[in-house]
Homo-oligomer: A and B are copies of this chain.
Amino acid sequence: MTAYRRLTARFARIGALGEAAGMLHWDASAMMPPGGGAARGEQLAALAGLRHDLLVAQDVSLDLAEAVAEGPWDQANLELMRHDHRRATALPTDLVEAVERANSACEKLWRQAKAAADFALVRPALTEVVKLQREVAQALGEALGMTPYDALMDGYQRGVTAADVEPVFAAYESWLAGALPKAEAIQARRGPALPLPGPFPVAAQRELCRAMAQVVGLDFAHARLDESLHPFCGGTPTDVRITTFYDESNVAKALLGVLHETGHAMYERGLPEAFARQPVGEAAGMAAHESQSLIVEMQACRSDAFLGFLGTRLHALAGGDPAPYAAANLGKLWRRVERGFIRVDADEMTYPAHVILRFKLERALIEGSLQVADLPEAWNSGLSRALGITPPNDALGCLQDIHWHDGAFGYFPSYTLGAMAAAQLMAALRRAEPDLDAQLARGDMAPMMRWLGEKVHSQGARLGFQDLLRAATGKPLDPADFTAHLTARYLTD
């Protein structure tokens, strides 16, 4: 057996353990009774420990040094194996253990601090988390030949650096400063939306959500739709598990949420089967993944064309006066711009402002130019500059997200990179499919999903973020398609 074949056998095992862990995570959120938590923790820790052991073993170093791969896919696979191995071996065991302890302690205190809106409760623990993340970033950066912050970003989205992101985000910030007041003025002129009558019984919502996931193309012979407190997409490419949360007074929550998760699910479903459980057979990263949920939810399904289709289906279900279900009214309801404190509730125009603030702050924390003690003040003044509003307390400010308090630095940019990539892919798709709006208007998403399947899903992790965009759209990340999309949707009267 060649060194490369030994490696693919080993990584297939690592991949299978990762799939098992994915299923157990899904189960923990969607199925597990509360008493199962402690044992589940042991199971996941054992799986993570064994994956790490398999990845850092001496044999892997020897085989990686010797291995030769033929063809672009196997070459990319081998490169990713080297990359994974480098990341896994860069950190000394005692640092990894200190990080796990610090993250776990901080996350618990964060829950109390957020509930009490008292940053002081979590400040010492977060200071320790940041200190350790700086060490992690330093060590990973040296091993990978990257700046420390780029090495953290690389853990979530390979193939894009802070130097790529910074001008893109800066351009967006200055565009938004002019665009947001205009969008608000236009919105005010358009007048209020008619509310949707309710309630929508859960059973009917469940059927509608399933039907809409099928409209996008999800095959329930390879998928499930269940319920969990925080909706997500998990599972494996041949067995995707999406979840949602039903609110009888607000059908949009589950419906648009399921369309979002179905975008993620379709990416998983379309990954190259020939490289299942190999590094190159995985998705290209978090930003690439978010581009697929957002192109389905935000670009396609909130378009006028698709809202016409969706409104007809909704009205058929609910009956009564058809007026609230007209596409124009659904657009007013579901495409409302609003300056708010909370990222996860933000509309697509202000969402990037929340992300850009976090990107600047977390980068400064990692680079050492911002101290944890100064975070609340930096947050509040940053939000005030970006959106002209100041959080009345830290629960609505720097305590709102779990990420940093659980040691996740370098993740936030992915959300906005995904949104921008979705717009860029949509613009390229519109060039390839001039009839797209007519297709969406009749609920025909097959041509769109075929194009995404070819350009994104089936590419696996062969290309990094910028290269994937280049191959699919002819250029690296360019915020112009995103601002053009927002201009058409929010700034055109």
A33-B223, A239-B36 in contact; A42/B23 too (CB < 8 A)? no
| Cβ–Cβ contact A42 & B16, under 8 A | yes
| Cβ–Cβ contact A49 & B13, under 8 A | yes
A128 to B296, alpha carbons, bound, how many Å? Answer: 54
| Cβ–Cβ contact A42 & B24, under 8 A | no
Q: Is A62 an interface residue (CB 8 A)?
A: no
| Cβ–Cβ contact A36 & B277, under 8 A | no
A382 to B106, alpha carbons, bound, how many Å? Answer: 68
- The one of B27, B47, B224, B238 in contact with A39, judged by C-beta atoms closer than 8 angstroms, is B238
Q: How far is the CB of A10 from chain B (nearest CB, A)?
A: 11
- The one of B24, B49, B220, B221 in contact with A20, judged by C-beta atoms closer than 8 angstroms, is B24
- The one of B31, B42, B219 in contact with A19, judged by C-beta atoms closer than 8 angstroms, is B42
Q: Is A222 an interface residue (CB 8 A)?
A: yes
| Cβ–Cβ contact B236 & A34, under 8 A | no
Q: Is A43 an interface residue (CB 8 A)?
A: yes
Main secondary structure of the interface of A (DSSP, over half): helix
| Cβ–Cβ contact A16 & B43, under 8 A | yes
| Cβ–Cβ contact B276 & A33, under 8 A | no
- The one of B16, B35, B45 in contact with A45, judged by C-beta atoms closer than 8 angstroms, is B16
A20 to B17, alpha carbons, bound, how many Å? Answer: 10
| Cβ–Cβ contact A239 & B276, under 8 A | no
A16 to B48, alpha carbons, bound, how many Å? Answer: 11
| Cβ–Cβ contact B13 & A46, under 8 A | yes
Interface residues of A in 14-32 (CB under 8 A from B): 16-17, 19-20, 23-24, 27, 31-32
| Cβ–Cβ contact A35 & B277, under 8 A | no
A226 nearest CB neighbor, chain B only = B31
A47 nearest CB neighbor, chain B only = B20
| Cβ–Cβ contact B222 & A276, under 8 A | no
- Chain B residues lying within 8 Å of A50, measured Cβ to Cβ, are 13, 17, 50
Q: Is A40 an interface residue (CB 8 A)?
A: yes
9 new A-B pairs (CB below 8 Å) besides A13-B46, A39-B237?
A16-B47, A17-B50, A23-B23, A24-B24, A33-B221, A35-B222, A35-B238, A39-B276, A40-B239
- A and B contact pairs by CB, cutoff 8 A, 15 listed: A13-B49, A16-B42, A17-B47, A19-B39, A20-B24, A24-B24, A31-B224, A33-B222, A35-B222, A35-B223, A36-B238, A36-B239, A38-B238, A39-B237, A39-B238
